[in-house]
Amino acid sequence: MVSAARSVPVNAKPSSARLVWTCAALIVVLLATVTIAVTIGPVTIAPGTVWAIVLDGVWPQRSHPWTASEAYIVWQLRLPRVLLSACVGAGLAVVGTALQALVRNPLADPYVFGITSGASVGATLVLVLGIGAFGDYSLSIAAFGGAVGAFALVLALARSGGNLSPMRLILAGLAVAYAMSAVTSFLVFLAAHEGNQGAALSVLFWILGGFGAARWEQVPLPAILLAMGVTLLILHARSLNALLAGDETAATLGVDVKRLRWRLFGLCSLLTGVMVAVSGGIGFVGLMVPHAVRLLVGTDHRRVLPIAMLAGGIFLAWADVLARTLFAPAELPIGIITALSGAPFFMWLLQRRGMTSETR
């Protein structure tokens, strides 16, 4: 594994005005993305109608110049799906940004640390074995439990003398990820062997991710945790900047490296567990978006974190639009879209030696 300790120099004093204008522009793009994404589908609905229906849902009006079916499509089907996809994309992007700084490795993301694989095991147990103790929430709860459990195992394996070595974390994460993937594959094999083809297909679709079952009850928790998580990470942005120069340098700058890693790894585990529980195993977002943002604004986490959050939300919202429209009425797993986007991006990044310069 290579280190990003000596990457592009961190700007000591980021331009506040530039950051504000960049975030404001991305917020406008995100609002436009949400609006356009809601209008797209088998039934096309005008943007003005979309906003009128949304405002009516918040402040009911007497006159309704739209049909009941349009209101149902916007308020019950498309809007919660678009908002959930934006929340998940934002969450995975900021988690990837934080993990890459915490272990000083440009390839770190929730997949590498076994979090997504652990969630897949939990979800597979529900889908294959029919465990439904919590009703409609059984899948999400099991996926969340698997994600947190897998990462706890990674931390236990990586712990050495009370410290968390970046190299040991990467190795432990890969070991747990492979082990969890093997368990998932075994459960799918059992389902297919016993003739439960429907469960096997459901597991495959969940592993690749999707928002086809999105509903309003799933939106508040990811949104609240995203807001809290991003706030906490931004408050630790200077410490994350210091970590890029190595543990010893960070310690001399007053950073309690051990405590910082434990706290932020726990936060990243919680965020990822919640996001993956409502979306499935969506890859490449936490790996690709942070790199794209750093190419634009540098490596200062006071800039990277808020911009990565907005960029991740925009990216996954559009990926979901493609997933549900390319082969309509069939729906494509969103993980296929993100992988097809991420792989060419990294080929281009390697071609321009961007990755090489970051990992020397």
φ and ψ of 163, to 5 deg: -105, 160
Domain boundaries, the chain: 29-354
Q: Which long-range contacts (CB under 8 A, 24 or more apart) does 311-314 make?
A: 311/26, 311/93, 312/89, 312/90, 312/91, 312/92, 312/93, 312/94, 312/285, 313/30, 313/33, 313/85, 313/86, 313/87, 313/89, 313/90, 313/93, 314/26, 314/29, 314/30, 314/33, 314/86, 314/89
Residue 68: per-residue pLDDT: 87
Q: What is the pLDDT of residues 222-235, one digit of tens each?
A: 999 999 999 999 99
Q: Name the DSSP letter for residue 163.
A: E
pLDDT, one tens digit per residue, over 104-144 is 888 888 888 888 889 889 888 888 887 766 666 788 888 88
Among the listed residues 103, 80, 196, the one whose alpha carbon sits nearest the alpha carbon of residue 154: 103
Sequence-ordered list of residues with C-beta below 8 angstroms from that of 125, at least 6 positions apart, any chain: 131, 142, 146, 187
Nearest to 332, CA basis, from 280, 288, 285? 280
Q: Cα(323)–Cα(333) distance, rounded to whole angstroms? A: 6
Q: What is the pLDDT along the chain (360 residues), one digit of tens a residue?
A: 434 444 444 544 556 788 888 999 999 999 999 999 999 999 999 999 999 998 887 787 767 788 889 999 999 999 999 999 999 999 999 999 999 999 888 888 888 888 888 988 988 888 888 776 666 678 888 888 898 899 889 988 887 666 677 788 888 989 999 999 999 989 888 888 777 778 888 888 888 889 988 999 999 999 999 999 999 999 999 999 999 888 888 899 888 988 898 899 889 988 988 898 889 889 889 999 999 999 889 899 999 999 999 999 999 999 999 999 998 888 999 999 998 988 888 787 777 654 444 444
**C-alpha R_g of the chain:** 21
Q: What is the pLDDT of residues 48-92, one digit of tens each?
A: 999 999 888 778 776 778 888 999 999 999 999 999 999 999 999
- Report the C-alpha gap between 78 and 82 in whole angstroms: 6
End-to-end Cα distance, the chain: 11
CA pair distance 226, 230, nearest whole angstrom: 6
CATH topology of domain 29-354: ABC transporter involved in vitamin B12 uptake, BtuC (1.10.3470)
Mean confidence (pLDDT) of the chain: 86
